[in-house]
Structure 1
Amino acid sequence: MFYLTILMIERVGFVIILAFLLVNVPAFRRLMSSDRLINRVQLTIIFAIFAILANSTGIEIDPANQLHDKVFLTTISENYSIVNARILAVSVAGIIGGPWVGGAVGLIAGLHRVMLGNMAAQSWFYVPSSVLIGLLSGYLYNDRRNPFAVMSPWHGFLVGLLMESIQMVFIFLFSPTGWTLVQYIALPMILVNSVGTSVFLSIIGMFRRQEEETRAMQTHSVLELTKETLPYLRNGLNMQSARQVARAIKRHTNFDAVSLTDRQTILAHVGAGSDHHIPGKMMLTHLSETVIESGRVHIAHNRDEIGCSHRDCPLEAAIVVPLRIRERVVGTLKMYYTAAWRLTPVEVQLAEGLGEIFANQIALGQAEMQAKLVRDAEIKSLQAQVNPHFFFNAINTISAMMRRDSEKARQLLLQLSTYFRANLIGARSTQITLAQERDHVHAYLTLEQTRFPDRFKVNFNNTVGDDVLLPPFTIQVLVENALKHAFGHRMHGNVVNINLAAVGDRLQIKVADNGEGIAPNILGRLGHEPVRSSHGTGTALQNLNQRLVGLYDKRSQLNFATSQAGTTVTISIPLVTKGES
């Protein structure tokens, strides 16, 4: 048994070495992070090859439990069995790819084992046992909420233990030498393959953690880029702003070249290929035209997919992101590598995030320029809601989160993008749906509650449909005002209740807090004039009140009820749904 254990360690070690080499390939890591059918099929093929190799490098055992160690098996002698790492490959396939990948790999591995035994009737039980093990291992850890999550090595050891034990039960029940064979091979196979499963997952986990660290650093770079590029893109997308943005991206990332275009022209190109990707010239790549027409992100993994007409172009991989404003693509953001293997899912996520942020910055700039041109007081007031202090506080919060939880930081970055998008919608619209307003409030609260955990509790109670219309920022301004002013320095037990209900033909909105109340000398001025404080200029409530009265009637103005037990702000506006507007 000791000699068998040594041989098993040798076989499993061979599989582990192959796994280490495979995980080093970025293309394989991309397969593990995608739920696309074609990628699932490719993952199945890869792990099926692992399982076939495990079968073919197995150790033959004759009916007398004598070992016959061969380099490579093409067939198994009659009534012989083999000890191998097949179940390790099937189990890991299920853990990494899910139950259907595991089941498919199990089917292939089982059929190959039957073929090695010359299709003998007594070996067919390996097919259902391998399929069952593949399905079970997938269902035991089928978490696709986080594509960077990997089962821990300890849990992998336990899963390997269980799967090998299931295989031993099948051998005991259906093999001609069942109990005799199980007594001899069970302990080495269960122990070595379980440890092998654990080591296999440790290798994958190591590379995943490296990618998470890379994501964290890149998210921090995104934040720095956001600060640096905002002044340029607020002036619009032109050659001067594009050149500054491209230089900043190149400086903060590891891309070999960065380019920005409008719909026809190269606005800026920094890095490799700058000798023929010249600003002011027409776009050279068909890939950019495809992205502009489709409005979707495209990824090129070779020169042909990029489609540059220059014969000596060094660019081999690209991510092209559309810059979309008001459902129209105004240009593209392109990041290139001169070596295709360097392109990983981390860089794709980074590029998509940058494209989203830059498009929002350009749109903010356009909205601001439009406000200056038409001198529209309401749009200017709405634009003023984009509080620069809130913006930089949010960025600093996300930067701090990088050190503790990169995935949480990524989610906060998405919420910041949602917050800005809602501000843009508000700047262009006099009314939005309740669903849009709630998303805006949720994004704001997520960022604030990350800065001040457990300080506030906000309850949203709604008895009307999500398609009812209200002015943008209505609830957000009231919630923000409560969080800033209602509770003083109190750190816990602060509650804000948001209630929406239909009262006759009007929509009633109540935002109530359990704060310290409003001073009498301030109460009469709220909503009618600026009330300065240490937290701001005091124009938000005045702006909101003027918009409510201007859009509807005097009945729609802000109403305050306050005491030492808290303050309730009530708004009553006509009840209108999106289809009726």
Structure 2
Amino acid sequence: MIDPMGVLEGLLAQALLTAVAAVAVYLLVSRQRRSFGSAEDRATLRTLALATSTMGALRRGLTARSAAEVLPEVAEQAGAAVAIYDSEGLLAFEPGPPGPADGHRLHLEGDTAAVLEALTTGRLRLLAVHDEAADGCGLRAAAVAPLLVNDRPVAALVSYHPQTPGPTSLRITSDLAELLATQLRLQQADQQRVALVRSELRALRAQISPHFIYNTLTTIASFIRTDPDRARELLTLFADFTRKAFRGPQDEFASLADELVYVHQYLLFEQARFGERLTVRYKVEPEVLNAIVPTLVVQPLVENAVKHGMESSTGRGTVSIIAEDRDDECWIVVRDNGRGFDASQLAGGEGGGALANIDRRLRETFGPSHGLNIDSLPGTGTTVRMRIPKYRPGVHRS
């Protein structure tokens, strides 16, 4: 089971490592290149450009294409020709400015076995490239710095030099490799977060499926003799609803409009089941329909409202769904007039099933102050509120 807080803490730690590595590279490069004098600002901008470009490219994964995208910046920072290898071989090579590395493309295949062997050690290694001049290539040494993810070497950054590199050049290569590895670790953390979200969505679907399917099929069966047209209509709607509910993992986010369509379909079946006993009221302001919300945050609340408002009562029940425009936020309220419960039992995220799941997802997405607000006491009905920021970096439909 993936620990969501562990994933978030890992993301923060890796972001900090990226910043530290970028600063270290800048300090070493600016120290080595004294000739820049008062132009240190340009070295700073180059380092920041490197961190930015690697973040965009490597967060999509390490491929020949992403390696080729980041190597020009890496070569400029290293002041040397560079290459990236993964466990299977060369991904990309960048000779840098015209110089002794121009002819080395002809000899890259000869480097592969030695680089891969050095990669498996997981440590910085120094390799001899040519014993003597070869086909116009003036390189003589290569520094192989591993890219570690979960303490396992998954790739290597190789810098090439016309002579044995000194400590400063080796340190620059090592720190550049750490910066690249940090982006790969962030990419892995992103994958873990997506896997966590999808597993939670599957868990939510599993919670609503058996009970709901049984009740809905029973309701449809009851209409077959008394109202065949209604039965056919409900069966068609049910097929569409279940197709959406139980297909493969959905996107992490959806528009509020899409969520409310799903809620409306669900309530059609519940109204067919309970008849006039169940009243549904909508109050949705059009300004909030494009708000982006985590997938499956409204329907489980509505299902809970129906369960507490109707299933334990022989009287009438009302479920209200409200979505209001409040400046830079969308306020969503689900209310029922049912039997209520002791909301204090949900303190600390214990119990509550779907409610605890939704509360945790909202807090992780929008911040600690954006969890569910539950107002309920036995015999008084239940009101569940959530505040959704209209705009939040990283929150968008796929």
For normalisation by structure 2, the TM-score amounts to 0.45
Which structure's residues are more often strand, by fraction? Answer: 2
Q: Tell me which structure has the larger Cα radius of gyration.
A: 1
For normalisation by structure 1, the TM-score amounts to 0.32
Structure with more contact order per residue of length (Cα contacts < 8 Å, sep ≥ 6): 2
